[in-house]
Amino acid sequence: MKNILVITASIFGQDGQSSRLVSQTLEQLRQTYGDIQTTYRDLSAEPVPHLDAERFGAFLTNADDRDGSQQGVVDYSDLLISEIVDADVIVMGVPMYNFGVPSVLKAYFDHIARAGITFRYTANGPVGLLEDRPVYILAARGGLYAGTPNDSQTPFIRSFLGFIGLKDVHFVYAEGLNMGDDRKENSLQEAGRAIETLTA
């Protein structure tokens, strides 16, 4: 049985297009692997707190010196990281908001980037400490961005995941969703075919 970590970030919840693409991907993974076990993290319904000096300070404080509040911050971060460690596959729904990733996803990233835990610094630069595994990114956009300088999401997500050791990253794009019904329908169909190809 494959353990799938599902991360969604749409402000529209499960009705968001990126979340719907995630559902399609999970259905395809069931056909590919048979029984799967899913762990859901809906960042819109349960936002990860944005990083501030207090939370960052908790990460830097020696374990023996942390107070209860600081330990709670670290325990929460450890939980998020453990969900990744336990997953065989990660499926992530990522809408584009104002040319970037949702702020809740950035906050999530800030809580799983932990020096000595998910990455370490070396004389030759940082090295990711997480064991690699497939990551499927379902990217929903209102306009056309893939392959253009305005696509800030793809390089950011790929760079961040690679930073912590996750390099087997696959993107599926559904674009032009706000550019007319026909374009929207065609784009979603193309994304569906891409999902079938990626996870078969």
What CATH number has the domain bearing residue 117?
3.40.50.360
CA distance 187 to 185: 5
Residue 47 DSSP code: P
**Residues 42, 93: contact at Cβ < 8 Å?**
no
Tens-digit pLDDT profile for residues 100-122: 999 999 999 999 999 999 999 99
pLDDT at position 200, please? 67
Q: Is 96 annotated as a binding residue?
A: yes
Report residue 173 as tokens.
Answer: 């794009």
Q: Is 1 annotated as a binding residue?
A: no
What b/e string do you get for 170-186 counting C-beta neighbours within 10 Å, with b at 16 or more? ebbbbbbbeeeeeebee
Q: Is 33 annotated as a binding residue?
A: no
Domain count, the chain: 1
pLDDT at position 198, please? 80
CA distance 49 to 116: 22
| Residue-number span of the structural domain to which 69 is assigned | 2-199
- CA angle in degrees (0–180, nearest 5) for 25-28-32: 135
Q: Is 121 annotated as a binding residue?
A: no
Confidence (pTM): 0.95
Q: Is 56 annotated as a binding residue?
A: no
